[in-house]
A and B are shown apart, each in its own frame.
Chain A
Amino acid sequence: MKSIYSRLLIGVTTLLCLVSGQAQQNFDDVEIHTLHVRDNIYMLVGSGGNITVQLGTDGVFIIDTQYAPLSAKIAAAIRELSDQPITYIINTHYHPDHVGGNENLRLVGTTLVGGNMPGAVPYSGDGAQVVAHENVLLRLSGAMGGEAQPTAIWPTNTFFNAEKKMHYNGEGIRILHQPAAHTDGDVIVYFRKSDVISAGDVFRTTGYPVIDLAGGGSYAGTIAALNNLKNMMIPEYGQDGGTLVIPGHGRLSGLGDVLDFREMVIVIHDRLRQMIDAGMTLEQVKAAQPSRDYDPVYGAETGFWTTERFIEAAYQSLSE
């Protein structure tokens, strides 16, 4: 019972921090920056999770939508790249910094409708499709606990199995569910021809992994997702070039960046595992500073995801 209580406490606090981050932030000064990744793939950087944009004659395919107040700026940035309509939006998970703009960006887009589609796909005549793993819908709708979010930001097109495949703008796209990683609804999206992966928050370069325990995340699942990511990547040489990764937050990355992040996650895991197996309490673990060598790179003393909160979530997850 104590474990469940702690898990809920940490998880709810995580979500509240994410939401309050939006409430406290002034978006007026936020600029949306565009980075060409490769071929017809771009990365948009603003506030919140990175947005991936794939362009082509089929339409504009985007991954994640940041916060709602930024939608007009995001739409304008996309218009600088293409005059095609937004037709698909993929959500990598349910957090507000990734789905906040779902409604606005969906409504500036469109879905090609015909045959039996209007009856099969809700909202198909009313903007772009929002595709996500089923758990994203369950989280946003409050069906798995927590506060229900407005229906207008819910996914319109979900899947429940390990993978959804699409072919769009001339290339195959794999949408791969990563169970119980950052949350329980994470997906990483692989553009096969461009050899670019949009990783969502299972990989970020700006801090320790955020493990949303109440949202179904776990430390073990985070490692598994990073292993999946690593195994999909083929560098051109050494650890550079070849497959590129757009992280949930932070800079465009190659295999070396993913390996560095994975190294940190595994090393801290192994240290915590030893401490927990030795019967150390959370306070004892904190005092031992098991992440001291990585703190200058990934740690934070302020903000919503401090080093202390990471250690608390990790300890909780590995104690179960």
Chain B
Amino acid sequence: MSMVLRSGIAGLLYAFCLSATPVLAQINLAGQWTGQYHEDEPDRLPGPELGDYGGLPVTDANRMRAQSWSASILSVPEYQCRVHPVDYASSFAQIRIWETVDPKTQELIAIHVQHFAWNTVRTIWMDGREHPPEYAQHTAMGFSTGEFVGQALRVRTTHLKEGWLRRNGVARSWNAELTEYFTRHGDILTWGVYIVDPTYLEEPFIRNRDYTFNPNGRMGPYPCESVIETDVPDDYFPHYLPGENPYLIEYGRNHGIPYEATLGGAETMYPEYVDTIRSMAD
């Protein structure tokens, strides 16, 4: 075989490889992934303390909403099985990821993620479909479309139902839009979400979680059945009237943090806010 012919074949092969690059570049996220808790553990597993809004870019309206929140909401049947929203559910235990592929063309149609928490399942559409119109239903998982960007899966999520940034009453509105990145580094998966909520956040909020690949992993079931624990009037909704929530000062008092620093706001996200806290303590 002549040098010219071999070069030609090699060139064709290279051209083929280049043309196939988008497919080959698609990372495979499928499998069972176990959450790592070195980040934000107290906030994620035991749960946030009442009145702790620090580090969250909440607006004044969102702060008022949170300060009215009562944990008794969990005794109301309609709220007992309310699932964690998609931008919060990935904080717990395992997630399972799998793909739906057209068996003939091998084109990727969708990527699915199941969370351990409440066993919710989300679908990330990879087939280029449009997001629904605004008047379509909003859900806890929202509507997601994705594309591969280098070695990451980038996901856009709209049509969210109202959820929470922290499960102590800090709201995330249905008007929010998420941009997420799933990035795989071998057996490590990093998920990051960029939350833009013009209704309740002063600035976008970013949350990251890490997972390790677990080839032997199993996800446990997470059934939930609402029960009536207390007999309450039909028009009952637990909340605190303004100025009447007695628990708001506990967090700051227990940790030696000035009350003002517990109230959150965009400035509390940044490292230099430590200087502000110190000046409060002076």
Question: Chain A: residues with CB nearer than 8 A to chain B?
Answer: 33, 35, 43, 45, 50, 223-224, 227, 230-231, 235, 237-240, 244, 250-257, 259-260, 262-263, 266-267, 270-271, 274, 290, 292-297
Which chain B residues in 224-250 approach chain A with CB under 8 Å?
A: 224, 234-237, 239, 241-242
Contact present for B78 and A239 (CB under 8 Å): yes
Please name the residue on chain B nearest to A244 by beta carbon. Answer: B137
**A293 lies within 8 A of B137 (CB):** no
Binds A, one of B33-41, B128-136, B252-260: B128-136
Whether A252 lies near B79 (C-beta < 8 A) is no
Bound-state Cα–Cα, A237 to B141, Å: 12
Q: Are B237 and A231 in contact (CB under 8 A)?
A: no
Q: How many interface residues does chain B have, given as a range? A: 35 or more
**Is the C-beta of B190 less than 8 angstroms from some C-beta in chain A?**
no
Partner of B78, one of A259, A290, A294: A259
Q: Is the CB of B235 within 8 A of A223?
A: yes
Are A45 and B161 touching (Cβ within 8 A)?
A: no
Number of residue pairs spanning A and B whose beta carbons lie under 8 angstroms apart: 104
- Contact present for A296 and B242 (CB under 8 Å): no
B212 close to chain A: CB less than 8 A? no
Give the distance in Å from the alpha carbon of A296 to the alpha carbon of B236 in the complex.
24
Q: Is B173 an interface residue, CB under 8 A from the partner?
A: yes
Q: How far is the CA of A294 from the CA of B81 in the complex (A)?
A: 24
Contact status of A238 and B199, CB under 8 A, knowing A266-B235, A267-B68? no
Contact A260 B162 (CB under 8 A): yes
CB neighbours of B134 from chain A (8 A): 251
In the complex where A238-B81, A297-B199 touch, is A266 in contact with B135 (Cβ < 8 A)?
no
Max chain A C-beta neighbours (<10 A), residue from B62, B79, B118: B79
Residues of B within 8 A of A50 (CB): 135
* Residue among B136, B138, B199, B239 making CB contact with A296, cutoff 8 Å: B199
23 A-B interface contacts by CB (under 8 A)? A43-B135, A235-B81, A238-B120, A239-B78, A239-B82, A240-B140, A250-B135, A251-B137, A252-B137, A254-B137, A257-B138, A260-B161, A260-B162, A266-B236, A267-B68, A270-B239, A271-B241, A274-B241, A290-B242, A293-B61, A293-B62, A295-B61, A297-B175
Inter-chain CA distance A310–B133, complex, in Å, is 28
Q: Can you name 19 extra interface pairs (CB under 8 A) apart from A223-B235, A255-B78, A297-B173?
A: A35-B136, A45-B133, A227-B235, A237-B118, A237-B224, A238-B118, A239-B83, A240-B140, A240-B161, A251-B137, A254-B161, A259-B79, A263-B237, A267-B239, A270-B241, A274-B241, A294-B61, A294-B65, A297-B199
- Asked if B266 is an interface residue, CB under 8 A from chain A, the answer is no
Would you call B26 an interface residue if the criterion is a C-beta within 8 Å of the partner chain's C-beta atoms? Answer: no
Are B83 and A238 in contact (CB-based, < 8 A)? yes
Docked-complex contact A292 and B64, CB < 8 angstroms: yes
Contact of A33 among B59, B133, B140 (CB under 8 A): B133
In the assembled complex, the Cα of A271 lies from the Cα of B78 at a distance in Å of 22
- The answer, yes or no, to whether B179 is at the interface (CB within 8 Å) is no
A33 engages B135 (CB within 8 Å): yes
Q: Which chain A residue shows the least CB distance to B234?
A: A227
Hey, which chain B residues are within 8 Å of A271, CB to CB?
Answer: 241-242
Contact at A257–B161, with CB atoms within 8 Å? yes
Pairs of residues from A and B, 10 with the lowest C-beta to C-beta distance, nearest first: A293-B64, A238-B83, A293-B65, A266-B237, A252-B137, A296-B199, A251-B135, A227-B234, A293-B61, A256-B161
Indicate with 1 or 0, residue by residue over B135-159, a CB within 8 angstroms of chain A CB atoms.
1111111000000000000000000
CB distance from A267 to the nearest CB of B (A): 5
Contact yes or no, B83 A237, CB < 8 A: yes
Identity of the chain A residue whose Cβ is nearest the Cβ of B64 in the assembled complex: A293
Chain A neighbourhood of B141, CB < 8 A: 240
Q: Which of B81, B199, B237 contacts A262 (CB 8 A)?
A: B237
Q: How far is the CA of A260 from the CA of B112 in the complex (A)?
A: 28
Max chain A CB contacts within 10 Å: which of B78, B141, B199, B241?
B78
Of A45, A252, A292, the residue contacting B61 (CB under 8 A) is A292
Residues in B with CB closer than 8 Å to A45 are 133, 135
- Given the contacts A33-B135, A237-B81, A296 and B237 also touching, CB distance less than 8 Å: no
- Chain A residues with Cβ below 8 Å from B118 are 237-238
What residues of A have a CB within 8 angstroms of the CB of B241 in the complex?
Answer: 270-271, 274
Q: How far is the CB of B136 from chain A (nearest CB, A)?
A: 6
Q: Which residue of A lies closest to B235 (CB)?
A: A223
